[in-house]
Amino acid sequence: MIKDFIAGIFAGAPLWVKYIVTFVVSVLPIVELRGGIPIGVLAFKIPWYWCYILCVIGNLLPVPFILLFVKRVIEWSKGTKRLKKLGLWLEKKANKNTPKVQRFEVFGLMLFVAIPLPMTGAWTGALVAALTGMKFKNSMISIIGGVLIAGAIVTLIVQGALGFLSFMIK
């Protein structure tokens, strides 16, 4: 199992290293806190409440930068030969999720980010918000709310309170 593999790699590491790894995993796109919380709690035995706080902060760290700069980065990448496909893919990903979010705007974005599945987290939510022209403040409020909810759901799953959803962390 993945958690055993990761626990084995960091078996002799000091606790602070395990906290940093958990934080870094939560910052990563796609994985986000959906991977950070299980790694922190299950593999590293970090108390769930510290892991929740650490992973929420890590997951939210890139959001303001994405909201402020992603449009420029995508436009720039579409103008280059090597990164054109990446820019077009990011734009397509955001456009695919735009109707879901625009329908209910702030609440819709929060729900989209709160769903603890890959490609529905803070990174994609920020991308969609930026490319749809949503106001920065509304985007941040929505994404923070969504990340807090997603973190709570994943923490409950990891702790066994929502065992029927445990397929999501295997």
Q: Looking at the structure, do residues 146 and 117 belong to the same domain, yes or no?
A: yes
pLDDT band at 1 (very low <50, low <70, confident <90, very high): low
DSSP for 43-97, please give it. Answer: IS---HHHHHHHHHHHHHTTHHHHHHHHHHHHHHHHTSTTTHHHHHHHHHHHHHH
- Same-domain pairing of 36 and 70: no
Q: Which amino acid is at 41?
A: V
Which pLDDT does position 168 carry in this prediction? 52
Rounded distance between C-alpha atoms, residue 49 and residue 151, angstroms: 10
Do 77 and 132 have their domain in common? yes
Q: Which residue has the higher pLDDT, 142 or 86?
A: 142
| Domain extent at residue 132 | 63-153
> pLDDT band at 60, cuts 50/70/90?
very high
Q: Do 76 and 53 fall into the same domain?
A: no
For residue 131, pLDDT over 60 is answered with yes
**pLDDT over 90 (residue 166):** no
pLDDT of residue 40: 95
Dist. CA 96–CA 149, nearest whole Å: 23
Place of tokens 């035995």: 45
How many domains does the structure of the chain reveal? 2
Q: Is residue 169 part of a domain?
A: no
Same domain, 56 and 71: no
Tell me whether residue 44 is in a domain.
yes
pLDDT at residue number 81: 87
Hey, is 105 helix, strand or coil?
helix
| 86 and 133 share one domain | yes
Average per-residue pLDDT for the chain? 88
pLDDT, tens digit, for every residue of 74-115? 889 888 988 889 888 888 877 776 776 667 788 989 999 999
Answer whether residue 140 is part of any domain. Answer: yes
Coil, helix or strand at residue 117: coil
107 and 42 belong to one structural domain: no
Residues 73 and 144 in one domain: yes
Compute the distance between CA of residue 7 and CA of residue 35 in angstroms, rounded to an integer. Answer: 14
In this structure, the answer to whether residues 33 and 94 fall within a common structural domain is no
Q: How far is residue 156 CA from its own chain's centroid?
A: 17
Closest CA to 151 of 19, 67, 59: 59
In this structure, the answer to whether residues 50 and 98 fall within a common structural domain is no
Q: Is the pLDDT of residue 170 over 70?
A: no
